[in-house]
Amino acid sequence: MSDLSVMCSELKVLIVDTLALEDVTAEEIETDALLFGDGLDLDSIDALEIAMAIEEKYGVILGDDPDANQKIFMSVRTLAEFVSGSLQG
């Protein structure tokens, strides 16, 4: 399993745990599915909670740029790429 796959799996668990999702398991979250809108249907409060959980777990801080954050939070894969890239750099 690649490092990105591991990060995706970890983030799926983090999302389910952080948001206390009862109707969705980590395994059911598609890596490339949208996190907002037609995907998991998350909202800005959910994104803030996930961002705080990522900061706590990985020490990675997301910036204040709404356009950049929209791209980062597009899917589990884009979020994993951002966290992985931040940890490496």
How does the average pLDDT of the chain come out, rounded? Answer: 93
- Per-residue pLDDT of 57-77, as tens digits, reads 999 999 889 999 999 999 999
How far is it, in rounded angstroms, from Cα 46 to Cα 29? 15
% of the chain at pLDDT higher than 70: 98
46 pLDDT exceeds 80? Answer: yes
Domains of the chain, each with CATH number or no CATH: 20-88 (1.10.1200.10)
Given a contact cutoff of 8 angstroms between Cβ atoms, the answer to whether 16 and 24 are in contact is yes
1 pLDDT exceeds 80? Answer: no
pLDDT at residue 74, as a whole number: 95
CA 31 from centre of chain: 10
Residue type, 83: V
Length of the chain: 89
pLDDT at residue 38, as a whole number: 81
Given a contact cutoff of 8 angstroms between Cβ atoms, the answer to whether 31 and 8 are in contact is yes
